[in-house]
Structure 1
Amino acid sequence: MTLSERVRARLGAGELEVLPGGHSGLTYTFNGTYVVKAVPPGQKPVGRNDVLRQARVLRALQGSPVPVPGVVAVDEEPPGWFAMEFAEGEAIEPVLDEHPLTSELAHNRMVEAARVLRRLHDSGPVAGEPAVGVAGELERWSRTMHAVPASLRPGADKLLRLLGEDVPEDGPPVLVHGDFRLGNVLFTGITATAVVDWEIWSTGDQRVDLGWFLLFADHRNFPELGRAVPGLPSEEELLEIYDGHELPAMAWFRALGRMKMAAIMGHNLRRHREGKRHDPDQERLPPTIAAMIRSAVDILTWR
C-alpha cells in the first residue's frame, strides 16, 4: 500500500498535501485537519527521520501543562508514520523573521515561551529514555563543528578547548526539546497553542535548552541576519521568569548554545557549497558563524 492508502485506511477519505517548512522525514497535511509525518521511502528511521520517536514524546506529553498536538494514529510498519492534530497558530521568530508583531506582542510571547519551557522541564523525563550528560552534549556538537571546514569556523578550536576545560556537572535529567525557541512554538495572540518540531528531543540538562533559547532574545547575535525588536526581554529577564534565581554555570551553557548554532550554520553552509543542498541564502551565514564563536569565547573568558 502507498502512504496515502495507509493513511486513508486509518483516518478516512482525503488526500495528503505536502506541508511547506517540514524538515524531518516527510511532512504532509491531511484534509487540513491532521499533520502526517512519515519516514522517507528507502531511508532508515534514524535522526530526523525517526518520526515515531517524535510521536512517542508527543504522547508522553498528552494531558500535561505543555501544549502539544494530539497524536491520533501511529503506524510502525516500515516506512513508519504518524498523524497528529493540526494545531492552530503561528510560529514567528521575531529577531529573524519578517513579521507583523508589535513590540508588545513579541515581548509577551517571549515571556510566555519562558514559562512554557519551565513547564516542559518540570514534566519530568520520558520513561525509558537514557539521559545524555553535559559532556555527551558537548561531544555531539563538537563532532558537528569538526565536520565544518576550518575556514568557515574561525576561532572554533579555541572555543572547543575552553568548553572542554570546564564542563559543568550534570543537573537532574529532564525532557529537553533541543530546539526550543519562538519559531517552534505556535501562538494565537499571547497564548501558546503547541510546541512543535521535536526532531532532536532528549533527556538531559535543562540548561541546554535555556542556553539555546536565550540566543533569540537579541538580534545582535545574528549579524546581517537579525532584526531589531524593541522591548524583547533580556537574557537576564528571561532567566528570572524561567527560574527566579541564577542557575549554576549558565555562562558555560550560553557559550554552548552559541557553539551549537555556529556548528549547525557551518554544516548547512558546507552542504550548500558542496552542492548537496542548493540554497544561496546560506552565503549570508559567515558573519553570524564568526560572531557566535567570538561571543562564546568572550563569555567564557570574561565571566
Structure 2
Amino acid sequence: MSTATQVPELSVRVRDRLARRHPGALIGELTVLPGGHSGLTYSVTAGDHRYVVKAVPPGQRPVGRNDVLRQARVLGALAGAVEQVPVPGVVAVDETQPAWFAMDFAVGEAVEPVLDEPEVPAATARARMLEIASVLRRLHATDTRTPGLDAPEPLDAAGELERWSRTLHAVPPELRPGGEELLARLAADVPGGMPPVLLHGDFRLGNVLCDGERAVAVVDWEIWSVGDPRIDLGWFLLFADHRNFPQLGHAVPGLPSEAELLDAYLGDRPALPAMDWFRALGRMKMAAIMGHNLRRHREGKHHDPDQERLPPTIAAMIRTARDILG
C-alpha cells in the first residue's frame, strides 16, 4: 500500500481533526485502501482506533460518486434509524473543499460468492445471502423523511428503463445481441409504481462486510437514492446464480435461489407485483454496464484486457432477461 503523499493537504486536515478527537494519541499516515472505484478512500489510525476516510479527488467537483458529503448524510441518517441497518459510524465531516469524512473501520469481508476470490465456504455464502435479504428489508423500511435523506425525484420503473436504455443503445449492436427486442418488451409493459423507499443502488454481498455469517456493515453508498424497492431487489437477485455470468462466475453449491431470497426479504408480507419485470431490468442494466466498459476498453479510453471476457455474459444477461419476460 502507498501512503497519501500526493495529497498532503488532505493528510494534514484529517490528522489534525483526529488529533483533536484523540488527544495525545499517535495519529498514523493516510494509507490508500485498495478496491475502490470512485473518489479517494484511505485508512488511518488514531491510537488504537482505525478509521476510513473518503474524500473528493483534488480538482474534481463534489458531484455524483464524488459527493462524499451526501454519502456521509445517508450513513448518519441510518445510524439513527428505527429499523437498524448495519453501517459504519461517521466520526468526522469536513465540508471545506475538497470535502472529506471519516467513519469507523468495520472489520469484515465483502465477497460476492459467484464472482469473487477468495471463495468462502458454501454454507457461509448461503447464510450471508439470506441474512442480507433481511438487511435489505430493514433498509427499505427506513423512514425517507429522516433528515439527511433528501433525494431528487424518486426513481421509478419508467425512469430506470429510460436511463439504462440510453446506456445500452450506446453499446455497439454486435456487443448486445437481442438488446433491441429486450428494450422493446420492457417498454411495452412498464409496471406501476410503489411507495418510494431508501435505495442503496448496488446492494449485493460484494458491498456488505460480513463477519462469519453476520452482516457487519453495508458500504459503498455512492449511488443511493429514493425510489421503487423492486429496483434494488431485481439487482440483488441477479447475483444468486453463477450461470448469469458465463466465463466470469463459478458455481457455489447451496446458494439460495431467487425465490428463497425473495421469501427472506418479504418475511410475512405479501408478494410484490411485477418482480419478473424488475428481474429482467436488472439483467438489462448489467448488460448495459458491461457493454459500456467493454466499449471504452476497445476505444482505448480505459485499457483493461480483462473486459474481453465480457461478451458471453452480456449476451446471457439479455437472453435470460427475455426468457424471464416470457
Equivalent pair of 2:197/2:229 in contact (CA under 8 Å):
yes
Equivalent pair of 2:126/2:256 in contact (CA under 8 Å):
yes
Residue 254 (1) aligns with residue 279 (2): yes
User: Which stretches of structure 1, 4 residues or more, deviate above 6 A after TM superposition?
Assistant: none
SS at match of 2:111: coil
How far is the alpha carbon of 1:63 from its aligned partner? Answer: 3.4
Distance 1:60 1:99 in 2: 33
- Percent identity, aligned pairs only? 73
**Superposed, which structure 2 residues align to 1:87-236 within 5 Å?**
87-125=106-144, 127-130=149-152, 131-236=154-259
Equivalent pair of 1:134/1:204 in contact (CA under 8 Å):
no
SS at match of 2:202: coil
Equivalent pair of 1:24/1:51 in contact (CA under 8 Å):
no
Match of residue 78 from structure 2: 61
Match of residue 41 from structure 2: 27
Distance 2:97 2:226 in 1: 26
- Tell me how many residue pairs correspond in the alignment: 301
Residue 46 (1) aligns with residue 71 (2): no
Distance 1:157 1:45 in 2: 35
Residue 286 (1) aligns with residue 311 (2): yes
Equivalent pair of 2:111/2:119 in contact (CA under 8 Å):
no
How far is the alpha carbon of 1:134 from its aligned partner? Answer: 1.9
How far is the alpha carbon of 1:203 from its aligned partner? Answer: 0.1
Distance 1:15 1:149 in 2: 45
Equivalent pair of 2:112/2:205 in contact (CA under 8 Å):
yes
Residue range with higher mean Cα deviation, 147-156 or 115-124: 147-156
Distance 2:174 2:59 in 1: 35
Distance 2:293 2:103 in 1: 29
Unaligned ranges ≥5, structure 1: none
Residue range with higher mean Cα deviation, 104-113 or 266-275: 266-275
How far is the alpha carbon of 1:103 from its aligned partner? Answer: 1.4
Distance 1:11 1:117 in 2: 32
Distance 1:41 1:143 in 2: 30
How far is the alpha carbon of 1:189 from its aligned partner? Answer: 0.6
Distance 1:142 1:54 in 2: 27
Distance 1:16 1:278 in 2: 28
**What are the superposed Cα offsets for residues 60-87 of structure 1, whole Å, 9 maximum, x if unpaired?**
1013310001111111111111111111
Q: Structure 1 length normalisation: TM-score?
A: 0.96
Q: Which amino acid aligns with 2:51?
A: Y
How far is the alpha carbon of 1:261 from its aligned partner? Answer: 0.6
Q: Structure 2 length normalisation: TM-score?
A: 0.89
Equivalent pair of 1:35/1:84 in contact (CA under 8 Å):
yes
Bigger radius of gyration: 2
Residue range with higher mean Cα deviation, 130-139 or 185-194: 130-139
